[in-house]
Structure 1
């Protein structure tokens, strides 16, 4: 049977004791709905709870809560057990000193996620045809994450995702990695480190930590800075560190307005990047900004004008399609919104130091 995690938004007077009682009510009747409750997490400050339940479907989870106590979940998603354990550290209730008695859990599911996003270098061949992070450097990253009580949750050639409970340790890890990058003679833009906070289940999401991971991908792709932190994470860091906290000198702090702008731009680009007629007038109109305002905002965050930003986005999408051999070069060029294969090839070489046809051949 599948396993689900749900999200509850709790009343202001909730306590670990009260939530333990609600959990017991679920367990008392779970057999009637063919369910099995594993455990839950409580974020007491924000009044969120996340239950982990094996059930035949989402409806069974909803009906279980409805009959047992009436505190209904706002969102229910299917999850993979190994992913839950990797991010949250457990799949069952914490151990107690009283066998047979349910623990009064006050364990938040709030996590700090850090992503290392590899930028495409000016010469793909310099990275052995874009093979990704060098193995010895990747081992250093893994060691640093572990030393700071984090865990690598996923890794591929161009992205490493890590999870922490503590904002201070996540930021410390990022700062050390950034220094290691300089010591390893990486190009300044070889990779970006993004750090945000988030919850495993949020409204209108369908997968585990979807909102936080999607946001990380956006900021790492969009913003030109070695380390990027959002204002919510900075507030968490300040709370952990107290008045004697160390200043975050090497981090670019995104404001809430920055984050809204990035999300809106990415939504627009994702929907329109393949349209060869896409221009600044349409771009600025959709964003609700004048062309000069749009130009200033994108330049401030990306250090590129809007037209270059769009072109680079198209080229990065084309690069991914070449890597997966998804179509011939002509097809990929037109699919990426270029009117001319020749112009596409020229821009691709300017960006990556190799013609797309030659790059495609090198992958075979």
Structure 2
């Protein structure tokens, strides 16, 4: 049976005890709806509660809540239990709460999400890989820092880490330690960037922490700097007496309006980048800016003009497709919005220092 996580936005007067009582009422009648309440989280500061429920469908959860206490969820998404545990640390009630008469769990589901991305160096090609010893040392160093700062690795590939932290302080501290280790161990051939964002597991999106992960990945990918920090992470870090860390030279702190701009722009580009008819003039409307305002804003944030930004975005997509061996050079050129394979190859060579064909696994 599938597992769902729902979100309840509650009033300021609601306490952890109130939420525990509502959860208890759910458990009394859950069998009638084919549901099984696994656990819940409550964030008193943000006045949000999240229930993890095994159920035949979303409607069964709504009906159960409605009959039990009338508090119908604002949002429901289907989740994977392993992923939930990776992000939040548990999929059942904490042991200290399991034997209590009223199971009060004052545990927020708010998390700081770290994205560690290995950049594609200009001199790197699929035919020139780092040594096994260097890569092993690189991964060991990252895992050590994450473990000592209570970071939970949610996803890991050779180019990407997604990590969940309960403490924003430890997330920022881990970021600085990773960069310090990188310089100390001379991982010059493995350039990496770190993006930090923070949020809750269920929004209007369909995946757990989707908004938070999207922002962390996007700021990591497009904003120059070694560590890019969202406005909320910076604000929370300040309240945790981490001003010393936040003011470090290698950290870039975004403002709320800059995050909004990035989100609006990238939502549009993510859905249109493969269209060869797409023009940078089209960016202005979704961003709510004039052409000149868009140019200045994008140049300030990314150091790139709209034309260069779109071209580099497409080249990055093309690089991923080439490494996956999804087609030949011409096919990938057209798929990523280039109208000419020769122009695509020229741009690719200039960006990465190698022709596209060198990246194809078949030619390795």
After TM superposition, the structure 1 stretch with the greater mean CA deviation from structure 2, 35-44 or 232-241, is: 232-241
What residue is the counterpart of 2:247 in the other structure?
A: 248
What residue is the counterpart of 2:153 in the other structure?
A: 152
Contact 2:234 / 2:246 at 8 angstroms: preserved in 1? Answer: no
1:38 equivalent in alignment to 2:41:
no
Contact 1:189 / 1:226 at 8 angstroms: preserved in 2? Answer: no
Deviation, 1:12, is: 1.4
Structure 1 unaligned regions, length at least 5: none
What residue is the counterpart of 1:60 in the other structure?
A: 60
Contact 2:198 / 2:232 at 8 angstroms: preserved in 1? Answer: yes
Deviation, 1:266, is: 1.0
After TM superposition, the structure 1 stretch with the greater mean CA deviation from structure 2, 69-78 or 262-271, is: 262-271
SS at match of 2:49: strand
Contact 1:118 / 1:159 at 8 angstroms: preserved in 2? Answer: yes
SS at match of 1:192: strand
Contact 2:200 / 2:209 at 8 angstroms: preserved in 1? Answer: yes
Pick closer, same or farther for the CA change 1:186–1:98 going to 2, 3 Å: closer
Instruction: Give deviations 1:158-182, integer Å, cap 9, x for gaps.
Output: 1101111111111011011112222
Instruction: Give deviations 1:280-336, integer Å, cap 9, x for gaps.
Output: 433345534333322222222212222111111111111111122222211111222
TM-score, length basis structure 1: 0.92
Contact 1:95 / 1:103 at 8 angstroms: preserved in 2? Answer: no
Deviation, 1:140, is: 0.7
After TM superposition, the structure 1 stretch with the greater mean CA deviation from structure 2, 263-272 or 284-293, is: 284-293
Pick closer, same or farther for the CA change 1:349–1:131 going to 2, 3 Å: farther
Q: Structure 2 matches for 1:263-302, cutoff 5 A?
A: 263-302=263-302
What residue is the counterpart of 1:167 in the other structure?
A: 168
What residue is the counterpart of 2:309 in the other structure?
A: 309
Contact 2:114 / 2:195 at 8 angstroms: preserved in 1? Answer: yes
Deviation, 1:183, is: 2.5
SS at match of 1:96: helix
What residue is the counterpart of 1:18 in the other structure?
A: 18
Instruction: Give deviations 1:13-63, integer Å, cap 9, x for gaps.
Output: 111211111111101101100111111000011110001111111111111
Q: Structure 2 matches for 1:127-146, cutoff 5 A?
A: 128=128, 134-146=135-147
* Counterpart Cα distance in 1 of 2:354 and 2:97: 64
Deviation, 1:97, is: 7.4
SS at match of 1:103: coil
What residue is the counterpart of 1:224 in the other structure?
A: 224
After TM superposition, the structure 1 stretch with the greater mean CA deviation from structure 2, 18-27 or 124-133, is: 124-133
Deviation, 1:149, is: 1.4
Contact 1:113 / 1:195 at 8 angstroms: preserved in 2? Answer: yes
Q: Structure 2 matches for 1:85-234, cutoff 5 A?
A: 85-96=85-96, 99=99, 101-125=101-125, 128=128, 134-187=135-188, 190-202=191-203, 204-234=204-234
SS at match of 1:124: coil
How many pairs are equivalent? 362
Deviation, 1:361, is: 4.8
SS at match of 1:78: strand
After TM superposition, the structure 1 stretch with the greater mean CA deviation from structure 2, 26-35 or 284-293, is: 284-293
SS at match of 2:269: helix
Deviation, 1:127, is: 8.0
After TM superposition, the structure 1 stretch with the greater mean CA deviation from structure 2, 265-274 or 46-55, is: 265-274
Contact 1:129 / 1:362 at 8 angstroms: preserved in 2? Answer: no
* Counterpart Cα distance in 2 of 1:98 and 1:37: 13
Deviation, 1:245, is: 5.8
* Counterpart Cα distance in 2 of 1:23 and 1:334: 53
SS at match of 1:125: coil
* Counterpart Cα distance in 2 of 1:70 and 1:3: 21
SS at match of 1:50: strand
SS at match of 1:134: helix
Contact 2:138 / 2:187 at 8 angstroms: preserved in 1? Answer: no
Structure 2 unaligned regions, length at least 5: none
SS at match of 1:128: coil
